[in-house]
Structure 1
Amino acid sequence: MNHSLKRFVVAMSGASGAPYALCLIEELLKQEHEVHLLVTEAGWRVLKEEHQWPIEKREHIFFERFGHLPGKLVYHPIKDIGASIASGSFWCDAMIVIPCTMGTLAKIAHGISSNLLERTADVMLKERRPLILVPRETPLSTIHLKNMLTLSKVGAMILPAMPAFYTTPTQIEDMVRFITGKVLDMLRVKHQLYQPWEGGR
């Protein structure tokens, strides 16, 4: 067994920002990691709006897109509350909710498990395992900020989708790769998605 390979849960909720999730899934699978995928109903809507995906194909389109990559992709229906990832006995190295809606973030912050995404996030918190939330919303209300603070206090990592410009991006893909790279940094997964800052020239 290759102990450098890891198992991650990647969850897509209904915020704008599907390209971030797709880039992350692709990079993890390229590096032969195991990815357990969740998509909310609103997440499917975003995939249709932002990528024109034929969402009636559901999980099949993910396997069509990523099935050639060496990693292992496992899809879990959002309503399958009895899925393996809903249990604390299921080991995974981290969970990433990307993009993360304010509604999803609020439910996680208050321990409300109405679907598999929220239940899995709750498991990550109770088991003290890494949980990374990538919110994509602006402006932020006081309620949003309080919920983020609540989650930060219990160990979740808040990584807003805020692209940088020191990398001199020239296209949207560059900014997507930067945010994805920041997530991979948090996961301690090496990548070459963006050039790290090396000080002034």
Structure 2
Amino acid sequence: MSSKSIAVMASGRGSNLKVILDAVAAGECPVDVRLVICDRGDAKALDIARAAGVANVIYLNPKDYDGREQFDAECADLLDRHGCQWIVLAGYMRILSSSFVRRFRGRIINIHPSILPAFTGARAVEDALAYGVKLSGCTVHLVDEVLDGGPILAQSIVPVLDDDNRDSLHARIQIEEHKLYPATLKRMVEDGFTIEGRRVIWAS
């Protein structure tokens, strides 16, 4: 298993998957995307992965499995079969089971559209606007059993403007996501990190 081998799990448009694959193609992100798993057959992420030449692009229908544990177990077996060191979530809308998180502890990466620990969950952008914060942004973090609660790898700040709505703020956050995610993956495989308590300590 290579320290640079990753799987990407996605559910939708695949915008973060695309920027990762584009960065790989440009030589800017030295990861090996061996596997893309989608839980929706209409996910554009499937087309993006195939067009980029990812060797293993797989759609798994959750309805074919007896609950979340069984579905996640099939995903986990695929990850091991293809030798994936890291699991990168890119717009993956299913909550991972505790057994999956335990099996890959410290190896699952997610990006979230807020400055964690503020505004967890699926409505992070709306919640930030409703609260009236003047700064928002995005966070790359490790995944644990707490929703959006794992140790923080990297963050990027975005100002909240007075005339922002959900779409305008989210669009600016995504610009930062698309820079931060490939850069963090590059640092992850090139430099590495250790964890002290909740703090991620980068090797360089």
Pick the structure with more strand per residue. 2
Pick the structure with more helix per residue. 1
